[in-house]
Structure 1
C-alpha cells in the first residue's frame, strides 16, 4: 500500500469511528424517553384506539 492509501484509510477510519463515538456520547447525554410523563395524552389515546381496530388487509 502506498502512503496516500494508508493516509486515506486512516482518515476514513477516523470519520467512521469518530461518528460512532460522537453518536454514543450524544445519546448518553440526551437519552430518548419513551412512555414518560411528558407524552402527549392525545397521541396516547390515538394509539390505544388504533390498537383496537382491525388490521387492514389487501385483496391482491
Structure 2
C-alpha cells in the first residue's frame, strides 16, 4: 500500500468509528426526546384496530 492509501484508510477509520463513538455518547447523554413537534405527542394510533379488507 502506498502512503496516501494508508492515510486515507486511517482518515476513513477515524471518521467512521469516531462518528459511532460520538453518536453513542450523544445517545447516552440525551436518550429521551424533550419535546415533540406539533401533532406528534399523541395521535391515538394505538386506539385504532387493525384494518380488515374483504378479499
So what's the TM-score if we normalise by structure 1? Answer: 0.64
Unaligned 5+ residue runs, structure 2?
34-40
- Deviations along 1:22-60, one digit per CA (max 9) or x if unpaired, are 000000000126xxxxxx4xx16x13322xx2325486x
Query: Cα RMSD (Å) of the superposition?
Result: 2.3
Against the structure 1 CA distance between its residues 5 and 32, is the aligned structure 2 distance closer, same or farther, given a 3 Å change threshold? Answer: same
- Output the TM-score relative to the length of structure 2: 0.69
| CA 1:3–1:32: 2 relative to 1, 3 Å | same
How many correspondences in the alignment? 48
Runs of 4+ in 1 over 2 A off after TM superposition: 54-59
